[in-house]
Amino acid sequence: MTQTKRNPSVVIIGAGMTGILMTIKLRLAGITDIVVLEKKESVGGTWRENIYPGAACDVPAHMYTYSFEPNPNWSRFFARAPEIKQYFEHVVDKYDVARDIRFNEAVTDAQYADGKCTVKTNKGQTYIADFVVCATGILHHPQFPNIAGLDDFKGVKFHTAQWDHSVEISANTRVGVIGTGSTAAQAIPELINTGATVSVFQRTPQWLMHLPDFAFSTTMRKLMTRYPIITKMHRNTGKFFLEHFFTKAVTGQFIQKHLLSFLCKANLRLSIKDKTLREKLRPHYQVGCKRVIINSTFYKGIQKPNAHLITEGIERITETGIITKDGNHHELDVLVLSTGFNAFNFMRPMNLVGRNNVHIDKAWAHKIKAYRSMLLSDYPNFFLMLGT
């Protein structure tokens, strides 16, 4: 008896790195009934959203590609955001992914019942699917600080994820940056290089690990194009470093943990000459307790004469600047909020209802949890990518 291979219907939410990959791999598996719902007008996910100066990946470029689609033409060891977005656009074109994407269509509701999931969008469309893959990512809901007077500021104000490139920042501009995380570590040096007076308001210092960034020469890129084994070597080297050193270090493996700690502390000691500034930048927690930032520009930038690191804490924001807890008022023209994302929003604000009418807010009322980071209790055939 001939058994007909099933072709289930799949809805993928999001056309970023994961959504693009899922579409390609599902097709290879013989599944063709696919709809990709993308809330914006183009693909790229976080690399479409984050366009602040200096935006780059902290994973080596040749590793930050699909295994089946290497890119020998990366211009730098750590690729910049526009080039990464261009890579994903290339993949979408090459594999004709766009034919399954519904752009500018955000999911508002997804409800499981009787073995099917009913997905509704802001365009009034309804899709009935056997499986739903939530590929929304976690870096697309900007988090704004809870600081008194935030709405009072009369100058230019924006979040790094909503960078306003129409604002001209020059030597006469007074810029304040709230935050010193991974995004800030990339954007702050770029602001300092404009000649503007940059005041960095730091709550918690971060451990930084130095890995040199460099440009690939035209000759090297031609060689990698001609000899794919060179590109593969670059990829495997980055993979080996992450798997056998960095990952093991942050998960507590003794040798790697202590080596990473040594490298970060040595980076701080050797990079920051001024002892007072160095102590301000020294975290009071072990290396690896928070995300270790891969960066080679922040320490250089923060030591320039037009950069000021402020650690006294913010009392409130005024119409013209920031008052710190020591009573000083810092006059500003531009206020940049580098305060991260609501990473635990995942698919929210989507109205997700599972078996027995269990709403996601109820299921996660006390704790966000998922089985092996992918599957949720009471939500059959719903796959959560980049889960807990």
pLDDT tens, residue by residue, 250-293: 888 999 999 999 999 999 999 999 999 999 999 999 999 999 99
Average predicted confidence (pLDDT) for the chain: 94
- Helix, strand, coil share (%) of the chain residues, nearest 5: 30, 20, 45
Do the strands 174-178 and 156-159 form a parallel or antiparallel pair, or are they unpaired?
unpaired
**pLDDT tens-place string over residues 128-147:** 999 999 999 887 789 999 99
d(CA 384, CA 18): 11
Q: Give the CATH fold of the 150-212+237-337 domain.
A: FAD/NAD(P)-binding domain (3.50.50)
- CB–CB of 228/70 below 8 Å? yes
Condensed to tens digits (0 to 9), the pLDDT of residues 232-253 reads 999 999 899 889 999 999 888 9
- Do 150-212+237-337 and 10-141+342-384 have the same topology in CATH? yes
Cβ contacts of 58 within 8 Å, gap of 6 or more: 78, 182, 293, 294, 295
Nearest to 94 by CA among 27, 192, 179: 27
Q: Look at residue 1 in the predicted model and tell me its pLDDT.
A: 52
Sheet holding 116-121, edge to edge: 126-129, 116-121, 107-113, 351-353
pLDDT digits (tens, 9 = 90+) for 140-182: 789 999 999 999 999 999 999 999 999 999 999 999 999 999 9
Confidence at residue 388, expressed as pLDDT on a 0 to 100 scale = 44
Q: pLDDT tens digit string along 44-81?
A: 999 998 999 999 999 999 999 999 999 999 999 999 99
- Tell me the CATH number for domain 10-141+342-384: 3.50.50.60
Domain ranges for the chain: 10-141+342-384, 150-212+237-337
Residue 337's pLDDT band, with cuts at 50, 70 and 90, is very high
The conformation of residue 217, written as its DSSP 8-state character, comes to: P
Is a pLDDT exceeding 80 seen at residue 343? no
Residue 353 has pLDDT above 60, yes or no: yes
pLDDT digits (tens, 9 = 90+) for 93-130: 999 999 999 999 999 999 999 899 999 999 999 999 99
Averaged pLDDT, 22-35: 96
Summarize the confidence of residues 198-212 as an average pLDDT. Answer: 96
User: Which phi and psi (to 5°) does residue 359 adopt?
Assistant: -80, 145
Cβ distance 11 to 109 under 8 Å?
no
pLDDT band for 345, please (50, 70, 90 cuts): confident
- Please tell me the predicted confidence (pLDDT) of residue 386: 74
- Give the whole-angstrom CA distance, residue 137 versus residue 308: 34
Residue 190 falls in which region: left (phi positive, over 0), alpha (psi -120 to 50) or beta = alpha
Question: Distance (Å, rounded) from C-alpha 248 to C-alpha 258?
Answer: 11
